[in-house]
């Protein structure tokens, strides 16, 4: 039984504690709440809400389970001496064996076209911690980061809440498939200056969340030219790099730097994680890879607030050092994600719904703008409300991603079985048919 305690309003808390910049009042989080209160289950609750707002990769989890069954030594210590070594290990650098394995895995994902030095890898408890930590290092309270729209709704929390840093949107639109342009970069920079904000950097996600598409090489070159001209930083969040449907589809900012012989590389920082590509969000494993010595040193000091357990490092060092496993996993995972993507795109197309052409990630960017009663944010949220409470699908409205065009929605497809995805597709099909009949 819970202990009830009378709360006195006279006892105050900090400004951060009561700040609205966490963003939890967003429809993005409201949809999660609707799912938590009535979760779909094929047997026990077939009319419940299907979670399509969670970018989680479960399509290849069987490969991880298979590896652990065949290599039990990865998850146990083998001797009391080895257990003692790991139990007492608390170096902020992390296990060298794990940093080497992580660097190698990042190279594999990029088809060997980029190299990573284990000494520049800083370990953090997930990409959320990595992005916040970098924001603390690169910017002061009141400064600004420029972020292309639409962007991951959690950035409002990760980049702003505790740091006091502002996000100024780089407005992108469907006229060029939401690609970032030099004009949009300049407009965002000017907007920040007009608000007396000092711009400290640009943060991009590549592949993009929520677009499910990679950034073209020429666009990456333009972004790097822009941050160099303005003498600011570039953070490239590449947590979906291994979820591109083929290695050649994804170009890392690391490849652009290698092409330029690492000129101006000291302003570039890469964020990576095993939460998406390897489907291990519960392990809380993230990394910062920076080409700036001061950032590496400071990030390592600050990582004491966000360490990864030595047990997790030990297990993952063993797993990622096994080239037979990693090669099979990367190849199979890409094939399965592509199949799942094709399945949802074709299912939506048969219902008369189009999506942005994607080539990566765990989601698609669905266009429901033709079906809005009014082409406004209010019209979008009215349709989203019907989707969540009538159709019983938790999808993320574009407005929660700061999309400037009403009617776009992010739909996740990799966190469920194919059977559940088929149920979701049928619900959408029935909903659209009903709307057509009543119109």
* Long-range contacts, 191-199 (Cβ 8 Å, 24+): 192/144, 192/146, 192/166, 192/168, 195/144, 195/166, 195/168, 197/142, 197/143, 197/144, 197/166, 197/168, 198/140, 198/142, 198/143, 198/144, 199/143, 199/144, 199/145, 199/146, 199/168, 199/230, 199/232
276 included as an active-site residue: yes
* Structure-derived torsion over alpha carbons of residues 155, 158, 162, 166, reported in degrees to the nearest 10: -30
Angle, nearest 10°, between helix axes 310-320 and 323-349? Answer: 90
Per the residue annotation, which of 151, 152, 240, 329 is the catalytic one? 152
Q: Which two tokens stand for residue 91?
A: 């170096």
173 included as an active-site residue: no
Per the residue annotation, which of 121, 215, 239, 344 is the catalytic one? 239
326 vs 435: CA distance, rounded Å: 46
218 vs 222: CA distance, rounded Å: 6
Per the residue annotation, which of 143, 158, 237, 277 is the catalytic one? 237
Residue ranges of alpha helices (H) inside 123-278 are 127-138, 155, 182-194, 217-230, 253-259
Contacts of 136 (CB under 8 A, 6+ apart): 163, 302
Per the residue annotation, which of 67, 156, 167, 276 is the catalytic one? 276
- CA distances for 341 relative to 267, 360, 396, angstroms: 35, 9, 17
152 included as an active-site residue: yes
CA 141 to chain centre: 24
Residues tagged active-site: 152, 237, 239, 276
């Amino acid at each position: 039984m819970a202990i009830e305690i009378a709360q006195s309003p006279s006892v105050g808390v900090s400004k951060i504690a009561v700040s609205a910049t966490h963003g939890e009042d967003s429809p993005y989080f409201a949809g999660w709440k609707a799912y938590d209160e009535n979760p779909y289950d094929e047997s026990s609750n077939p009319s419940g809400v299907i979670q399509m707002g969670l970018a989680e990769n479960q399509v290849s989890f069987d490969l991880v389970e298979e590896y652990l069954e065949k290599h039990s030594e990865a998850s146990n210590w083998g001797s009391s001496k080895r257990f003692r070594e790991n139990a007492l290990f608390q170096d902020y650098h992390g296990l060298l064996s794990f940093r080497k394995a992580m660097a190698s895995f990042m190279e594999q994902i990029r088809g060997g076209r980029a190299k990573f030095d284990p000494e520049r890898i800083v370990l953090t408890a997930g990409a959320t911690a990595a992005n916040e930590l970098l924001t603390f290092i690169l910017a002061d309270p009141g400064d600004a980061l420029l972020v292309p729209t639409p962007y991951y709704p959690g950035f409002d929390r990760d980049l702003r809440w505790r740091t006091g840093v502002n996000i100024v949107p780089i407005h992108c639109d469907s006229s060029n498939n939401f690609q970032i342009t030099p004009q949009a970069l300049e407009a965002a920079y000017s907007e920040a200056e007009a608000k007396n904000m000092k711009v400290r950097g640009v943060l991009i996600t590549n592949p993009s969340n929520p677009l499910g598409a990679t950034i073209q090489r020429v666009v990456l070159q333009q972004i790097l030219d822009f941050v160099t001209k303005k003498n600011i930083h570039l953070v490239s969040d590449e947590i979906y790099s291994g979820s591109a449907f083929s290695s050649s589809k994804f170009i890392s900012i690391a490849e652009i730097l290698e092409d330029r012989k690492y000129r101006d590389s000291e302003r570039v920082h890469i964020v990576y994680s095993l939460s998406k590509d390897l489907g291990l969000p519960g392990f809380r494993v993230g990394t910062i890879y920076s080409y700036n010595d001061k950032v590496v040193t400071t990030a390592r000091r600050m990582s004491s607030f966000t360490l990864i357990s030595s047990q997790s490092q030990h297990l993952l060092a063993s797993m990622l050092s096994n080239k037979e496993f990693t090669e099979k996993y990367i190849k199979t995972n890409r094939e399965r994600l592509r199949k799942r993507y094709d399945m949802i795109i074709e299912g939506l197309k048969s219902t008369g719904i189009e999506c942005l052409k994607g080539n990566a990630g765990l989601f698609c960017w669905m266009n429901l703008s033709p079906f809005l009663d009014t082409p406004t944010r209010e019209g979008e949220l009215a349709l989203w409300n019907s989707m969540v409470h009538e159709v019983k699908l938790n999808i993320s409205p574009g407005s929660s991603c700061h999309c400037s065009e009403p009617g776009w929605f992010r739909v996740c497809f990799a966190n469920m079985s194919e059977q559940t995805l088929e149920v979701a597709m049928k619900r959408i099909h029935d909903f659209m048919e009903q709307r057509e009949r009543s119109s």
